[in-house]
Amino acid sequence: MSGTSAALTPPADAQTPVRHPDAPAPGEPLGAHYDRCFGCGGGQPHGLHLEARAGEGVSLTAEFTVQPAHQGAPGLAHGGVLAAALDETLGSLNWLLRTIAVTGRLETDFLLPVPVDTTLHLEAEVTAVAGRKIYSTATGRIGGPDGPVAVRADALFVEVKVDHFIDHGRPAEIEAAMSDPDQVRRARAFEVNP
């Protein structure tokens, strides 16, 4: 097995993921993790405004509609935007584990073009957990939740503490987020991991 494939293959001693007892119930919206997030934030004018809902187990569904600001080739979604949508969807799975994690590796396959004004229907699930490593997979379909797969991705996320963002983020944005009581509540909730 090559080094690239091996990085996304869970080790033999990986554990089956377990949904945290305080995770949102199936069907509940997950909400934005930060208002200015390109992937899910409502305060980002050209962002994806991706909306995710908890699924069964450690899975979720999400949607976003490709806007003219998201195009690469005329009338088609930019591949980087589609990769960002997959990354955001996969990262949202961590709400179900009640774990703060960042993308360590994202491998994306582009199978079909995605036109502007198309809604991309995304599904994702955590497949394994090994220490601080979280392995997951996602697909994006066009034409409905049962439509053809246009994009897919496998990812490795790495668990971090909230200090990761405080230590590396820009002070003005950190201060703004920490002055938002909802953001502070969410950060504190994640500091207590199972």
- Tell me: the pLDDT tens digits for 50-62? 899 999 999 999 9
Confidence of residue 188 (pLDDT cuts 50, 70, 90): very low
Q: Are residues 147 and 171 in the same domain?
A: no
Q: Is residue 22 in a domain?
A: no
Q: Is residue 17 in a domain?
A: no
- Residue 140 has a pLDDT of 98
Q: Are residues 40 and 70 in the same domain?
A: yes
Q: What is the pTM of this model?
A: 0.83
Q: Are residues 97 and 173 in the same domain?
A: no
Distance CA 160, CA 132 (A): 8
Q: Which domain holds residue 94?
A: 27-157
Q: Are residues 58 and 86 in the same domain?
A: yes
The enclosing domain of 64 has a CATH number of 3.10.129.10
Angle at 148 between CA 145 and CA 151, to 5 degrees: 90
Q: Are residues 82 and 138 in the same domain?
A: yes
Q: Are residues 116 and 190 in the same domain?
A: no
Q: Is residue 68 in a domain?
A: yes
Relative to beta strand 133-141, strand 149-159 is antiparallel
- CA-nearest of 182, 160, 83 to 64 is 83
Query: Three-state SS for 41?
Result: coil
Q: Are residues 96 and 142 in the same domain?
A: yes
C-beta of residue 78 within 8 angstroms of C-beta of residue 70: yes
Q: Are residues 169 and 109 in the same domain?
A: no
Q: Which residue has the tokens 């955590």?
A: 126
Q: What is the mean pLDDT of the chain?
A: 85
Region for 122 from its dihedrals, namely left if φ exceeds 0, alpha if ψ lies in -120 to 50, beta otherwise: beta
Total domains in the fold of the chain: 2
- Tell me: the pLDDT tens digits for 119-163? 999 999 999 999 999 999 999 999 999 999 999 999 999 999 765
**Tell me, what amino acid is at 107?**
E
Distance CA 143, CA 9 (A): 30
Q: Are residues 53 and 131 in the same domain?
A: yes
Check pLDDT > 50 for residue 173: yes
Q: Is residue 13 in a domain?
A: no
DSSP single-letter state for residue 58: S
